[in-house]
A and B are shown apart, each in its own frame.
Chain A
Amino acid sequence: MSAQTVAAVPPRLTPRQQLWRRAWRHKGLVFGATVLAVIVLLAVFAPLVAPHDPYRQNLLARMVPPVFLGGTWDHPLGTDALGRDYLSRLLYGARISLMIGFVTAMISAVIGSVLGILGGYFGGKVDAVVTFLISVRLAMPVVLVALAVVALLGGSLIVMMTVLGLLLWDRFAVVLRTATRQVRSMEYVAAAEVLGASLPRILFKDILPNVMSQLIVIATLEMAHAILLEASLSFLGLGVRPPTPSWGLMISEGKEMLLFQPWLIAIPGVALFLVVISINMFGDGVRDITAPEGRN
């Protein structure tokens, strides 16, 4: 009798196990994470996966169509106007996109979280300064400023990542400021203050872990944002310089052949879309499973 009632109670799961269970049940999250993982693996192992050298030109095999448009398996996605293998350029381009997205998101996450957490924790004058900085940043036309500064400094990868990182921190600051304010009103923060915990201890041990999920969600969104911006800048001819295989640059080069070879812009565009949508779905999923209202 008593053994039966014990068996009827579901096994108690640790919060971490509950989180994993919610994650596996979230279709969007699983889909986004899977696609993203495949793309990351392909990018990391690009030198092993790519059938050709992405920089090697072959003027005898220019604009070969992809397999599904009557090409051969030698160039599964065809070749561009200089006879470079399109699949290889696409794979190496994934490295550029992911790296720019990741590093930019890291730089802006650091700037935005420091500002947001300080503003949210201290309030008053500090908060007023942070809010003012956010308004200034929002009023600056990102595309225009990024284009101008990158054009003046020269479009190397490091310049791109730094400039975008210095411009995209606004959402981190806005969200973390509100989140920190909420956490700050919790009793455990008051308890830590009463116990005489040092400021860094409170900020790193009490505040930061509790705003981490929001930080991760914004980081994914900004990573996607940075990838799209890099592609736009390179498309406008003022970002990454040729012959680097950036997807935006590939679309820009393919634009000249829009009339007869529309697949030259379709393929990198689809790649860009897949990366961005998988990152966004991953981020949305993380938000759903960590937000209190997403739990049942």
Chain B
Amino acid sequence: MLKFVFGKLLLAACVALTVSAVSFGLLHLAGDPAIALAGESASEADIEAIRVNFGYDRPLLVQYGDWLSRAATGDFGISRFFNKPVSELVWDRLPITMMLGVFAIIFALVLAIPMGVLAATRPNSWFDRIALFISVVGQAIPSFWFGLILIVIFSINLGWLPASGASSWKNFVLPTVVLGYFATPALMRLTRTGMLDVLASDYVRTARAKGLPTRKVLFKHALRNAMIPVVSLAAVQMGFMLSGSIIVESVFALPGAGQLAWVSISRNDLPMIQALILIFSMFYIVFTFAADVLNAWLDPRLRVS
């Protein structure tokens, strides 16, 4: 087990390092940061001064090494737009995004698991078909549009929930629904197929033959085993959600890290963008690592291969 965890940890570190190098390279090759900073009316001398001042004249590899060694200590430089340390701004905004992510995954699981279980106990029934239909339709609705429609209905027409800001729990209701519904179809389908497999297994038949009530068979015997892949998918979805928060947060003007990313991209705030890409990908890497370890712990067969 220890060897397995260590191997996965090493791999995760390599992935993180490569992601940081690729995103650093991409951003620097996509445009000259000095020109972007100087603005349109800057003279050639101004641009050159900015280039020297911020160190953009050094070789890319040196800049990357410098940035990485600082980032490792939590120093992501100074935001060009806000004129404050990047790490300070990010730590300020991150709690909102993390809260939103946790709410959204709970919402998705609360919706997906019962629906998946119910669909699996009655395969091809009308409920199963409706659940499938909802998941097909749900995946085709653009999240930013869904958010706007919810604003029209619940904020403008009914006046129940606020459309923007983060002053109370009410502000989180609509963003949670928008971010969470996107993860629901996949989780529901996985619960359904997992349950179908488990319900056909011998030990469930034994449990039934013993005369256990259906509820006990479903929840104590079947669901526990069907949940293993769902847990790991939920962890992966959580990683995706955090980077999906950029769209949801700008629709609802929720001042989290996603909205911060949107503002920094519109303002060409390179140090901020780099830091956020690294942080969001670290979240994904940590979550998938946790899911791998959890799975290996629950299912010893995975540790061998």
Task: Report if B277 contacts A (CB, 8 A).
Answer: yes
Q: Does A142 contact B (CB under 8 A)?
A: yes
A255 interface contact, C-beta 8 A = yes
Interface members, chain B 119-159 (any A CB < 8 Å): 136-137, 139-145, 148-149, 151-152, 156
Count contacts on B: residues with CB < 8 A to the other chain: 46
**Residue B16 at the A interface, CB < 8 A?**
yes
Determine the distance from Cα of A270 to Cα of B265 in the docked complex, in whole angstroms.
29
Task: Give the docked Cα–Cα distance between A74 and B160 (Å).
Answer: 38
C-alpha gap A281/B14 in the complex (Å): 38
How long is the Cα–Cα vector from A276 to B136 in the complex, in angstroms? 10
Judge if A49 is at the interface, Cβ distance under 8 Å.
no
Chief secondary structure at chain B's binding surface:
helix
Q: Tell me the smallest distance from the CB of A294 to a CB of chain B, in Å.
A: 15
On whether the beta carbons of B27 and A149 are closer than 8 Å, the reply is: yes
Contact check, B281 vs A265: say whether CB atoms are below 8 A apart: no
With A145-B277, A228-B142, A276-B140 already in contact, the answer to whether A140 and B19 are too (CB < 8 A) is: yes
A246 to chain B, nearest CB (A): 12
User: B-facing mask of A213-231, CB < 8 A → 1, else 0?
Assistant: 0000000000010001001
Q: Say whether B22 faces chain A, with CB atoms less than 8 Å apart.
A: yes
Asked if A272 and B246 make an inter-chain contact with CB atoms under 8 angstroms apart, the answer reads no
Number of A-B contacts (CB under 8 A): 128
Residue of A141, A232, A238, A266 with highest tally of chain B CB at under 10 A: A141
Q: Which 8 A-B pairs have the closest CB atoms?
A: A141-B243, A277-B140, A152-B30, A152-B31, A269-B145, A276-B140, A141-B280, A139-B281
Instruction: Beyond the given A149-B27, A273-B140, please list 16 additional residue pairs across the A-B interface where CB-CB is below 8 A.
Output: A135-B15, A136-B18, A139-B19, A141-B280, A144-B261, A144-B277, A145-B277, A151-B265, A151-B266, A152-B268, A235-B142, A255-B148, A262-B152, A265-B145, A266-B149, A280-B140
Q: What residues make up the interface of A, taking CB atoms closer than 8 Å to B?
A: 132, 135-136, 138-145, 147-149, 151-153, 224, 228, 231-232, 235-238, 248, 251, 255, 258-259, 262, 265-266, 269, 272-273, 276-277, 280-281, 284
